[in-house]
Structure 1
Amino acid sequence: MRWPPKARLPALLLAPALALLLLLRLAGPGPGPAPPASPRRPGPTHVLLLSSWRSGSSFVGQLFSQHPDVFYLMEPAWHVWMALPAGSAAQLQMAARDLLRSVFLCDLAVFEAYLAPGPRDQSSLFQWHVSRALCSPPACPLFERGTIVPQEGCMKVCGKTPLHLAEAACRSYSHVALKEVRFLGLRALYPLLADPALDLRVVHLVRDPRAVFRSRELVAPLLLRDSRAVLGPQWDRVPREERPLRVLGAICRSHVRIREEARRLPGPLAARYLLVRYEDLARDPLTHTSRLYDFAGLPFPPQLRVWVQNITRGKGMGRSAFLTDSRNARNVSQAWRWALPHDQVVQIQKVCKDAMELMGYLPVLSEKHQKNLLLDLLSAFKSPSDTLV
């Protein structure tokens, strides 16, 4: 059927809206069995590590980055937020989602719209040097493909690799993994989950809000622009001293929203979502990394087992807040208990009450309770049907 010329433009404009309405109807609650899964096309598996700032996502990102079968990039949506600083998180989520889809398909030319004028090489990409794939062939000959790559060496040698070689590297892997902290809900990502060309798996990483707050305090100036975007128009109306807690409350609500929206996914799509607590990885890294890899369809090579054990069983708290190096992960996960004043902990527990209950974080009832590290503050999920890695 051919459309009359005057009808073509309205039809083209309506088509995406009708497709989205159909998707949301499939994703919402309703009677009857879930629709059948879309046919799987041959191609790479895509993994989105979805988290928030200071939640251990850089560490979990490295679990994917150091895997020899994975092409990994850290926070590509950073470019959207930096290029459009006046936008709120809600206003920027569609542009960020479209960028993610292009990157998952190894179309790195999508970054052109957000990069400053000048040479285009992989050093233009945010935190490019934390990607093992960009430090080994075909992107860069510095390290062999299966080698555990230190970030410092890569930064000095591999930055001038042109983006077309980075694209070639992306296309040479069986898995493409991206880490993101700039989505405050799952709904905007439904089209990616439903796209059979992507075979997308979402790993939703959460961390105890009290630990998140303490970690954010240490790097607060570096998170200022992101914090403004999280609060959006409310930022200027909130007293300065109240902003850190207000931002944390928004982040906690976003984790509840993501979890609830994941529960409304139809059966085949629901199986592509996994909730992971940072504390469980810190306590038993080998077991929970193995389950994480199983979810993504990845093996757990012996050299990675050694690296995971070493990186999580080091001494001290690490050299830098933004460097994934050897540290005592269990101590890091509990540092808030001796670093935060109890009255501040009480405030955090109040604004993040729903998130803590949903994710299995127990409140402390007194300062003595808080300081007693023998008291376990992790519990099981609220719903017995939930699955925890």
Structure 2
Amino acid sequence: MSTQRQGQMSLGAFLMETGHHVAAWRDPSTPANGGLDFKVYKQVVQIAEQARFDMVFFADSVTAYTGAAAERMARSDKFEPITLLSALAAVTEHIGLCATATTTYNEPYHVARKFASLDHLSGGRAGWNLVTSDAASEAGNFGRAQHVGHAERYERAREFYEVVTGLWDSWDDDAFVRDKASGVYYDPAKLHVLNHKGKHFSVTGPLNVARPPQGRPVVIQAGSSETGRDLAAQTADVVFTAHTSLASAQAFYRDVKARTETAGRSRDSIRIMPGVYVVVAATREEAQQKHAALQALVDPEVGLSLLSRMIGNFDLRGVDLDGPLPELPLTDSGQRSRQELLTRLAGNENLTVRQLYERIAGGRGHFSVIGTGADVADALQAWFEGEGADGFNVMAPTLPGGLADFAEFVVPELQKRGLFRTEYTGATLRANLGLARP
């Protein structure tokens, strides 16, 4: 297959505790306490950097997972991601360090300060995943009896972004002269006080951190609903999204690129990176065996709990596991785009509830590939050259083993085809992603 599209794809490593498969922690090769073991994360991130990944990425939620079957899932204890990334900045040199911070249960000043600090600590490698919380249980940790509704979450998120980016622009790049001879530490003419007053926030500023090395840390957005797509087109540098087919990915790609132009931005100012769940080995048979071994460890209650969460925070206990997915109302507390994706998947393939949760036990509705390095490279190349993606957010089934497999089998194949870098060329995450500095 010859390369037809100009440029190379981007790769992010989406890291989730012991791995993305819901039963990963039970795999004999996986450290069960990996979610709270810095040595494991250090090993994983260095694997990604040695493979020349653009970034590592951590999702986050400000609640402990204590719902149905939680006692049998490795999702209840993990590091706060900015703290973890700050430590990882000291043991890496090139790879981008990205994490989620919700706009629903945070304050803009805190988020702006943390990510500006991380950008300085890492020499320009920070990225903020701007999300609205879809875990309804977060509300109780912040004095709310009910979760914030979908429309209000996105309205708040748009204003939150304006405040954070305004705070990052508090100082000109050269505002801090630190001239010992004259005694002038900063030039007051290069200070910009925000004085934001809006519907949701009133923030004076300025930020007490110098302008970040990247100008602004990379902003990532993961919503794929209509409202989420508009927010991404207006604000995001990178879009994470979920699709199960190339046709769906292509439609999303065209739509978001068009919305970006409508928002007055260049198509090239935004990178679209779908998630891809990969089980890879030297042979197809071995890859299938790895996948089957993980699937055999899925407890039915755990699978049903995962589906309940992913399809919109509905309680599916008591449904017939071997019957069809029941009709559900539109979620107001969960991810509407993921609800639509999973409902469509179940209907199109006539899946039972059991078959649906087994299908998403690893990738949670993301594109999934099981096979050899060449098989995976073929699939990624088809999506990249077919303009379904600018790159991918790689979801390893287990950590560190699953990511090490991707680095061993897939990355060299992509490099051989000229689809992925062999060395880092930029000094910052923005540069490596091919994004302009604000």
When normalised by structure 2's length, the TM-score is 0.29
Higher normalized contact order (CA 8 Å, seq sep 6+, divided by chain length): 2
Higher helix share: 1
Higher strand share: 2
